[in-house]
Amino acid sequence: MEELVGKIWHRLVWGQSQVEFDSARVTLNDCIDQLAPYYRALGGDTGIQIEAATPRRFKIQRRFLQRLAGSHQYFSVSWQDQRSLRLPKSIALFPDAELNKYLYFWLAALAARRPTLNHWFGDNQQACLQLLQDYPGLKKRYASLAEATLVVRDQTLELEGDQLVREQAIRRAILSPGSERQLPLAPGSALPVPLWLYSQPIRLVCAAAEDHLVNAASDRKTDTQDLSEAGRKEATRIDDSRETDGLMVFQLESLFTWGEQVSLDRCQEEEMDDDLNTAAQDLDIISVSRQRRAGAAKVKFDLDLPAAENDDLPLGEGIRLPEWDYRKSKLVQDYCLLQPMLADNTEPAPLPDHLRGIARKLRHRFAILRPERQWLHRQASGEELDLAAYLDALTDPGAATDLNQTFKSRKAVARDLSCLLLADLSMSTDAALTQEQRVIDVIRDTLLLFAEALSGSGDQFAMYGFSSVKNKQVRYHLLKNFAESYSDHTRGRLLSIKPGFYTRMGAAVRQSTAVLKLQKTQQRLLLIVSDGKPNDIDQYEGRYGIEDTRQAIFEARAQGVQPFCVTVDDKASDYLPYLFGSQGYEVVSDAQRLPEMLPKLYLNLTGVAG
């Protein structure tokens, strides 16, 4: 009975406090196919993605009914960084669905015109004013949006004093962009303006933070739940080191909140999955412990913090590499530290059973590329006398033939090419394709079958993987070098690859180019296998990473290396032509076909009919 009364009370109070119109709701997914070309047509960066924004908390002055219902604390505002444009997941602000839909297009146009905000109040007005001057056809729709926005604000707010003065200035700025120079000061936050952009969230992450912990639950399998639909979370490191296990001192009002950490020893196992999921969705900033990981194996967060696993052996002190800064049109020297890594604790392993059938077919097919033994004439030494060269030397003293070069030798002449396969091992490859298979599993099978095929052809090849944690550590995993023969030891390293960290592709391409330059072959092929575009947790997101990778590709071609990218990203056509050119990439629509398709692509790229 109490539960029923509670539900009825909640429905009444919550319903009375809401001002949204669910019947006119428009979602971002409904408009995104039109928004992307619209945004780019108005001057937006080609490397920017459009994604859903996570609601932010604003401490506005709420009415009594809103406080009673606990509503109007979180608002989905629009913002943009170098990686993406974040728009509300859905809009039901106005009773007219067409007006809600047009709000998406207005925000996309505003973001294309004003990529960054230095002053929220002034910059938004100037961007609106400039947009309306350049495109007069938008004025009528904007006027409708502005009037409807003021109606919503009237229904939501009840202000007085300094807060009312500030609100009146905001309303004048909405109706007449550019008319207000300064925002009057007032306590609390102003009600968000849905027509304007906001600055990107503050990241409270220590760049130098390191985590040397071993996950206590790593040896037991646990079910994980992905909270990516809740949006990207902000993260901050906390120091939970304890000087003593004595008296606990805390504020009483924080005892029943998730925002404060209370250090407790718990010997028993507890099932906290549901509570952790709910808490993760409610928190604005997630505090990550440096020592204890009670629920780390059960909940997966999309945090701006690198993982702590580092099982491979670092080789040397690292290699310093440059990086292209498109904003300065300059190659910044010694900006990245690339760390070669070797999985030294792997065991030799045979080829998995499920790959043996197709591997046998590939080896047989690639065997036709093996060099045939041919006679080489006029050699200094050999198995037989080259009679024609010998007679020429005796009968024609003026000929250039030397008596010491009158032998012929039968040798196998190999194809004059070398190939380096570079695999993306970033955390995005941990995504599931089916219930039994992830992207990293497909990449692992691809590497194994590619190695089986090329070992049958006799072509020179090497295999490396890469991931990154900002510019301080670009992890470059040695899977097989050119001098090493393909064996069970190589298979063991290939079977041990695992996803982690991010995708700083430019540095990996530069190092792979340097490795290929050491091969004295006529054709040098760099094959890149990836599942997404370049990214990292610093400025490498968005256009910066795209431009650096593009510059690295230019540098590789200038040094006689042929780069080619194979990807399973269905959105790759938006950025790969800019990176590799129209003939420099291949999109595999069905990721599970990648292991069979890559050897065929290799045959085509090396001049053999597929």
444-477 confidence digits (pLDDT tens)? 999 999 999 998 888 899 999 999 999 988 999 9
29 C-beta neighbours (distance < 10 Å), count: 10
pLDDT band, residue 325 (cuts 50/70/90): very high
Task: List C-alpha distances in Å: 280 to 166, 295, 338, 432.
Answer: 34, 11, 34, 22
Q: What is the mean pLDDT of the chain?
A: 79
Instruction: Calculate Rg over the CA atoms of the chain.
Output: 31
509 C-beta neighbours (distance < 10 Å), count: 28
pLDDT band, residue 298 (cuts 50/70/90): very low
Residues 380-405 have pLDDT tens digits of 777 777 777 777 777 766 655 556 77
pLDDT of residue 513: 97
Counting Cα atoms < 13 Å in the Cβ hemisphere of 232 gives: 15
* Cα dihedral 497→500→506→507 (10° resolution): -70
Domain spans, the chain: 2-198, 313-368+416-605, 372-412
Q: Which two tokens stand for residue 187?
A: 């306590």
Residues 400-459 have pLDDT tens digits of 555 677 777 766 556 789 999 999 999 889 888 888 899 999 999 999 999 999 988 888
258 C-beta neighbours (distance < 10 Å), count: 15
Options 3.40.50.410, 3.30.2130.30, 3.40.50.1580, 3.40.640.10; CATH for 313-368+416-605 is 3.40.50.410
Nearest to 343, CA basis, from 366, 313, 363, 301? 313
What is the C-alpha separation between 105 and 457, in angstroms, rounded?
Answer: 54
- Choose between 301 and 200: higher pLDDT: 200
- Choose between 473 and 206: higher pLDDT: 473
**For the chain, what percent of residues have pLDDT higher than 70?**
73
pLDDT of residue 374: 62
Counting Cα atoms < 13 Å in the Cβ hemisphere of 65 gives: 15
pLDDT of residue 181: 86
What is the C-alpha separation between 529 and 513, in angstroms, rounded?
Answer: 15
Residue in the block written with tokens 């974040």: 86
Quick one: which H or E segment has residue 328?
A: none
Q: Which of 63-67, 142-146, 359-363, 565-569 has the lowest mean pLDDT?
A: 63-67
Residues 238-262 have pLDDT tens digits of 555 554 444 555 555 555 554 444 4
pLDDT of residue 285: 54
Residue in the block written with tokens 């194809």: 415
Q: Do residues 469 and 306 make contact, with C-beta atoms less than 8 angstroms apart?
A: yes
Best-predicted range by mean pLDDT (69-73, 478-482, 581-585, 605-609): 478-482
Residues 92-137 have pLDDT tens digits of 889 999 999 999 999 999 888 776 777 888 888 998 998 999 898 8
pLDDT of residue 268: 43
Is this prediction's pTM over 0.95?
Answer: no
Q: Do residues 302 and 227 make contact, with C-beta atoms less than 8 angstroms apart?
A: yes
pLDDT of residue 565: 95
pLDDT of residue 16: 55
Quick one: which H or E segment has residue 469?
A: strand 460-469
Mean pLDDT over 1-30 rounds to: 70
Task: List C-alpha distances in Å: 196 to 50, 91, 153, 244, 485.
Answer: 16, 14, 14, 50, 60
What is the C-alpha separation between 348 and 427, in angstroms, rounded?
Answer: 25
